[in-house]
Amino acid sequence: MAFENVDALEIMFKQQLCSSDYSVVFLVLLRSQTCIMKVRHGPGVLDGFTNRRVVSWISTYLSLQHIIDLRSKGYAIVELWPQFLGTLEKFDPRQCQPFRKAFIEDQSLPSAIFLAYIPNLDMPNLQNCTEKRLEALVRGVREIHEASVRHRDPKPRNIMVINDDPDRVVWVDVDRAETYNKKQLTDRQKDFLDEEEIMVREFRNGLVSPLMPFIFRPVEVFAQYIFVSVMRH
């Protein structure tokens, strides 16, 4: 873990990147490193949002990182999502200047995780999905499953390409991920993994379908001819 014993006063907030009912994502500077800070609202902000759920969310990243550390040999799984850097649990949001308004109405203290910042991320679309990236998309979910991890939210918004890296696809938002015992996989768990791969394949096929007339030639050859606009996230 890169960051230990983080004090909220150390954090320099540079930009709010996005927000939802459950969390807010910031670009921050912490100990001379630019990184992502994802903050979950405290347990009182939504009905049924208990403190146990907040702890579980933090624990997911800790256990997942442990699994990655143990099983990354032989797999490229460590490259499939931003590096996990640390946590900040139950901090005073009044210290989050100038973004404290995002948490000021919470009834309990929020918690956060820190992830490595990867610049130039983009959602997969018809413009940027080359043949290599489409292959990496399916290969990535297989490698995640080979490490006995189920992402549990493999939607397009959680899959990113890197504009200046044509071979890498990054999976984000692994809040709901589950880790399994590879030697004791149940039939139900195997079905879950199979279903998840099918979902990713269907997404891949949806991106490929406009290219079907050119199925026997590389995607890149026809990209400029077929796509007329850039779709930015």
The verdict on residue 226 lying in a domain is no
CA 29 – CA 217 distance, rounded (Å)? 45
DSSP, res 25 = E
Pair (130, 198) in one structural domain? yes
Is 31 in the same domain as 93? yes
Query: Tokens in use for 169?
Result: 């696809």
Residue that is last in its domain, among 77, 101, 116: 116
Residues 91 and 125 in one domain: no
Give residue for tokens 């026997």.
216
| Domain edge (last residue) among 91, 116, 141 | 116
pLDDT tens, the chain, 233 aa long: 578 889 999 999 999 988 877 788 899 999 999 999 988 876 543 434 444 455 555 666 665 565 555 455 555 555 677 888 888 888 888 877 777 777 777 778 888 889 999 998 888 888 888 888 989 899 989 988 887 888 888 888 888 999 888 888 888 877 677 888 888 999 999 999 999 999 999 988 887 765 444 443 443 333 333 333 333 33
In order of 5, 26, 38, 160, 227, the CA distances from 86 in angstroms are 9, 15, 11, 22, 40
Please report, for the domain that includes residue 31, its CATH number. Answer: 3.30.200.20
Q: Are 169 and 161 in contact (CB under 8 A)?
A: yes
Please, are residues 58 and 89 in contact by the beta-carbon 8 Å criterion?
yes
Strands 84-88 and 12-19: unpaired
- What is the C-alpha end-to-end distance of the chain, expressed in Å? 30
Pairing of strands 149-150, 178-179: antiparallel
**Same domain assignment for residues 89 and 132:** no
Asked if residue 112 and residue 46 are part of one domain, the reply reads yes
Residue 184: strand, helix, or coil: helix
Query: Based on the structure, what is the number of domains in the chain?
Result: 2
Q: Is residue 163 domain-shared with residue 192, that is, in the same domain?
A: yes
Compute CA 74 distance to the chain's CA centroid, rounded to the nearest angstrom: 22
Tell me the three state secondary structure of residue 171: strand
This prediction's pTM = 0.72
Domain that holds residue 61: 8-116
Do 38 and 71 belong to one domain? yes
Last residue of a domain, one of 89, 116, 143: 116
Q: Is residue 87 part of a domain?
A: yes
Does 102 lie in the same domain as 54? yes
* 141 and 70 in a common domain: no
